[in-house]
Amino acid sequence: QKEVEQNSGPLSVPEGAIASLNCTYSDRGSQSFFWYRQYSGKSPELIMSIYSNGDKEDGRFTAQLNKASQYVSLLIRDSQPSDSATYLCAAINTGGFKTIFGAGTRLFVKA
Amino acid sequence: DTAVSQTPKYLVTQMGNDKSIKCEQNLGHDTMYWYKQDSKKFLKIMFSYNNKELIINETVPNRFSPKSPDKAHLNLHINSLELGDSAVYFCASRELNNSPLHFGNGTRLTVT
């Protein structure tokens, strides 16, 4: 079982729609979770951090964490073509030294 | 600018050669990392140093040797390069154990 799992996609949504990205993790001791966006040929950039169960909103982005289900999600409201990228889910392992990444979900937002 | 910077950006070399990638961060972070991203975009941790001390050494061939002369620098030396070493290598740093990573711009290594 992979430590952080994501649907590789691609996920295609029309402009203005809500994009929903999902992630599960296997390490029950993980306490810190992140969503990164990576454009082709670029480095990953942090979009959201979430540490507590529930929702965390930042602009058009909402991260959701459910530690009991070991599930993290990212919602992108009013999706724009510029949101087209690969979205990486990451979790810090028990012990806190490693950030483990999922394989990423490719998102396409159609104009 | 405060950042994680790595050089070179592109590295094209032949099998069997030895090459180095350099990384510097001016964020004042104690912990630095090397990650490898393969053609399928999977980011895999390779090494981590905390204040010049090696704390993570994943299952990486001995041909890869990291060196941290001080907590702001983490270099990666690769001996006897193989075709399978072709990938993008990212340097990253972070402030605390629960903090997100800050990435450098990556070094695209192509071994021919």
- Give the pLDDT confidence of B73-91 residue by residue, as tens digits: 999 999 999 999 999 999 9
B30 touches chain A (CB under 8 A): no
Out of A9-18, B24-33, B52-61, pick the least confident: B52-61
Q: Are strands A54-58 and A19-25 parallel, antiparallel or unpaired?
A: unpaired
Tens of pLDDT, residues B35-55 = 999 988 899 999 999 988 999
How is residue B80 annotated by DSSP?
Answer: S
To the nearest whole Å, the CA of A99 is away from the closest chain B CA by: 8
pLDDT digits (tens, 9 = 90+) for A31-87: 999 999 999 999 999 999 999 999 999 999 999 999 999 999 999 999 999 999 999
Beta-strand pair A19-25/A33-38: unpaired
* Residue B104 sits at the chain A interface (C-beta within 8 Å): yes
Mean pLDDT estimate for chain B: 94
Contact check, Cβ <8 Å, A96/B97: yes
Q: How far is B109 from chain A (nearest CA, A)?
A: 13
| B55 contacts in chain A (CB < 8 Å) | 97
Give the 3-state secondary structure percentages of chain A, helix then strand then coil, rounded to 5: 5, 55, 45
Are B103 and B91 in contact by the 8 Å Cβ rule? The answer is yes
Instruction: Please say if the pLDDT value at position A97 is more than 90.
Output: no
H or E segment to which residue B93 belongs: strand B87-94
B10 Cβ under 8 Å from any chain A Cβ: no
Q: Give me the pLDDT at residue A96, please.
A: 83
Determine contact: B3 vs chain A, CB below 8 A.
Answer: no
What percent of chain B has pLDDT above 90? 84
pLDDT digits (tens, 9 = 90+) for A17-33: 999 999 999 999 999 99
Nearest by Cα to B6 from B18, B19, B21: B21
Please indicate whether, in this complex, the C-beta atoms of B98 and A45 are within 8 angstroms of each other: no
Backbone angles phi, psi at A83, to 5 degrees: -80, -10
Contact present, A87 and A24 (Cβ < 8 Å): no
CB neighbour list of residue A87: distance below 8 Å, 6 or more residues apart = A6, A21, A35, A36, A37, A38, A47, A74, A104, A105, A107
